[in-house]
């Protein structure tokens, strides 16, 4: 029993050390292209301002960038984070995308998971599994073999759906080609619009969104404003104090981590994106084994610490970039203050604010993990650990 627990401990703790190894295998440049005559027989990772995958990948693909285009063939899963994501090539398994604008116009063998501003799944992109999405606006014009679960402002479905549709929406439109095999259950202030020959095989059930108690608007606004200001103030002060401690206690590690994010922001974003997926899965696996519950609790604590520190390094990254643009001398303490201010301001950008904040946090996480590996190796080489 003790040996098994030791093995689990070594395996799980090593995840936090070895995830940065991905950084050594990432194709990271301003513009990254996998040519259409290239075949990759393993997982492929790329990050850059512009990322294009035109070749064939016989494995999973992880991408991060400003503009991402996939027009090759992926015989595995696709995980992407970017401002604009265009998927015009066939994906054999699942797609998971986090971005501003997402267009999918080629067959998808598995399921689709989305977090985006605007999404279009064209008629040329039949989905072999289900769709789960949180978006501003989404058009689903392709057939979906299983069900659809969506939270969005506007939803349009105009093809067959093999399962149920569950939606929390502002407006739901079922086009004339919509053929829903199961139930349609939705929460909205407006009635769903069924146009032409749209049909629902099961029940069409509308629920009103939960109604808040009737309180004078000024009182509600004042209360939320007060809570928002108080929480924001507490969070800023807490993060600032933590940042000061980090800079004071580990100045070399802090500086190198910030430099890593500044020099390769898309690489940091991709490493953070991968880690945000891998770490929770690893922790879940440990908990399922029952005997690894104690190890799992330790890993949850470590993951929680990582989440707390990500905002510190995201702020340092923003502040350092700002000082660079202003042509001012680099100072981590000043960078922290400026970066926290900018982080808060960017968080208030309508709708895209949470996407920007999440992207910056993933960059911070990626930078921490990437530099931690190098820091660990340095300590080992000097026989300090």
Convert the pLDDT of each residue in 257-305 to its tens digit.
Answer: 888 888 888 888 888 888 888 778 777 777 766 556 667 677 777 777 7
Helix, strand or coil, per DSSP, at residue 212: coil
Whether residue 207 lies inside any domain: the answer is no
Compute the average pLDDT of residues 317-334: 83
The Cβ of residue 241 has, within 10 Å, a number of other Cβ atoms equal to 10
pLDDT of residue 234: 64
Nearest to 161 by CA among 113, 106, 202: 202
Structure confidence at residue 381 (pLDDT)? 60
pLDDT tens per residue, range 117-150:
899 999 999 999 999 988 889 999 999 999 999 9
Classify residue 278: in a domain, yes or no. Answer: yes
Per the domain annotation, does 60 fall within a domain? Answer: no
**What band does 336 get if pLDDT is binned at 50, 70 and 90?**
confident
pLDDT of residue 372: 67
Residue 235 confidence (pLDDT) = 66
Angle at which helices 265-288 and 293-325 cross, to 10° = 170
How does the average pLDDT of the chain come out, rounded? 80
Q: According to DSSP H, which parts of the chain are helical?
A: 2-18, 22-25, 217-249, 251-263, 265-288, 293-325, 332-347, 352-381
Q: For residues 1 and 30, give the distance between their C-alpha atoms in angstroms, rounded to a whole number.
A: 50
Q: Pick 2 or 73 by higher pLDDT.
A: 73
- Is 89 a domain residue? no
The radius of gyration of the chain from alpha carbons, rounded to an integer in Å, stands at: 23
- List CB contacts of 219: < 8 A, sequence separation 6 or more: none
Higher pLDDT among residues 300 and 383, named by residue:
300
C-alpha to C-alpha distance for 8 and 29, rounded to whole angstroms: 36
CB-based contacts of 89, cutoff 8 Å, min separation 6:
53, 54, 70, 71, 72, 73, 74, 106
Q: What is the mean pLDDT of residues 159-182?
A: 94
Q: What is the pLDDT of residue 160?
A: 96
Q: Average pLDDT for residues 341-347, to the nearest whole number?
A: 78
- Answer yes or no: are the C-beta atoms of 266 and 48 closer than 8 Å: yes
CA dist 171 → 142, 160, 206 (Å): 19, 19, 12
Task: State the pLDDT confidence band at 8, using cuts at 50, 70 and 90.
Answer: very low
Q: So what's the pLDDT on residue 149? A: 92
Residue 27's alpha-carbon distances to 46, 52, 368, in angstroms, are 5, 11, 19
Q: What's phi and psi for 17, nearest 5 deg?
A: -95, -35
Identify whether 209 is part of a domain: no
Prediction pTM value: 0.63
Q: Is the pLDDT of residue 12 over 50?
A: no
- 289 vs 365: CA distance, rounded Å: 27
pLDDT reported for residue 40: 93
Q: Is the confidence at residue 2, as pLDDT, over 50?
A: no
pLDDT at 20: 42
Q: Is residue 146 part of a domain?
A: no
What band does 13 get if pLDDT is binned at 50, 70 and 90?
Answer: very low
Q: Is the pLDDT of residue 345 over 60?
A: yes
Q: Where is 40: in which H helix or E strand?
A: strand 39-40
184-195 core/surface letters (b: 16 or more CB in 10 A; e: else): bbbbbeeebebe
> Using one digit for the tens of pLDDT, what is the confidence trace for 65-108?
788 999 999 999 998 888 889 999 999 999 998 878 999 999 99
- Assign 342 a pLDDT band (cuts: 50, 70, 90): confident
* In-domain check, residue 61: no
pLDDT of residue 256: 87
pLDDT value of residue 38: 94
Contact between residue 159 and residue 123 where contact means Cβ atoms under 8 Å apart: yes
- In this prediction, residue 375 carries a pLDDT of 55
How much is the pLDDT for 5?
41
Pick the residue with more confidence: 105 or 340? 105
Domain that holds residue 243: 217-381
Q: Which one has a higher pLDDT value, 107 or 32?
A: 107
**CA 316 – CA 320 distance, rounded (Å):** 6
Number of domains in the chain: 1
Give the confidence band of 379 by pLDDT, cuts at 50, 70, 90.
low
φ and ψ at residue 250, rounded to 5 degrees? -135, 65
**331 within a domain of the structure (yes/no):** yes
Backbone angles phi, psi at 384, to 5 degrees: -95, -15
pLDDT category at 216 given cuts 50, 70, 90 is low
Which of the two residues, 198 and 285, has the higher pLDDT score?
198
- pLDDT of 352 > 80? The answer is no
Percentage helix, strand, coil for the chain under 3-state DSSP, each rounded to 5:
45, 30, 25
């Amino acid at each position: 029993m003790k040996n098994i627990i030791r093995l689990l401990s070594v395996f799980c703790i090593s995840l936090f050390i070895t995830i940065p190894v991905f950084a050594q295998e990432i194709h990271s440049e301003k513009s990254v292209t996998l040519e259409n005559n290239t075949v990759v027989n393993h997982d492929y990772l790329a990050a850059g301002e512009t990322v294009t995958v035109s070749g064939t990948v016989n494995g999973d693909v992880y991408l991060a960038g400003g503009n991402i285009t996939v027009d090759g063939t992926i015989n595995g899963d696709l995980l992407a984070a970017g401002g604009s994501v265009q998927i015009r090539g066939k994906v054999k398994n699942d797609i998971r995308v986090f971005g501003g604008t997402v267009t999918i116009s080629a067959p998808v063998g598995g399921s689709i998971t989305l977090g985006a501003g605007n999404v279009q799944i064209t008629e040329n992109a039949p989905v072999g599994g289900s769709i789960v999405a949180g978006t501003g606006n989404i058009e689903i014009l392709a057939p979906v073999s299983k069900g659809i679960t969506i939270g969005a402002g506007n939803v349009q479905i105009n093809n067959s759906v093999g399962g149920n549709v569950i939606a929390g929406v502002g407006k739901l439109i079922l086009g004339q080609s919509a053929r829903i095999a199961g139930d349609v259950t939705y929460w909205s202030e407006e009635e769903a619009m069924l146009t032409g020959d749209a049909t629902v095989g099961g029940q069409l059930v509308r629920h009103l969104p939960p109604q808040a108690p009737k309180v004078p608007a000024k009182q509600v606004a004042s209360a939320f404003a007060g809570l928002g200001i108080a929480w924001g103030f507490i969070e800023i002060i807490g993060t600032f104090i933590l940042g000061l401690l980090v800079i004071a206690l580990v100045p070399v590690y802090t500086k190198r981590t910030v430099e890593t994010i500044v020099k390769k922001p898309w690489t940091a974003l991709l490493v953070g994106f991968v880690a945000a997926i891998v770490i929770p899965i690893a922790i879940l696996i440990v908990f399922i084994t029952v005997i690894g519950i104690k190890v799992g609790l330790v890993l949850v604590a470590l993951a929680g610490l990582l989440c707390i520190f990500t905002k510190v390094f995201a702020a340092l990254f923003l502040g350092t970039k700002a000082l660079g643009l202003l042509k001012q001398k680099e100072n981590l303490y000043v960078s922290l203050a400026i970066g926290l201010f900018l982080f808060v301001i960017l968080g208030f950008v309508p709708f895209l604010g949470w996407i920007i904040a999440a992207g910056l946090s993933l960059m911070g996480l990626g930078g921490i993990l990437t530099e931690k590996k190098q820091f660990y190796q340095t300590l080992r080489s000097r026989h300090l650990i």
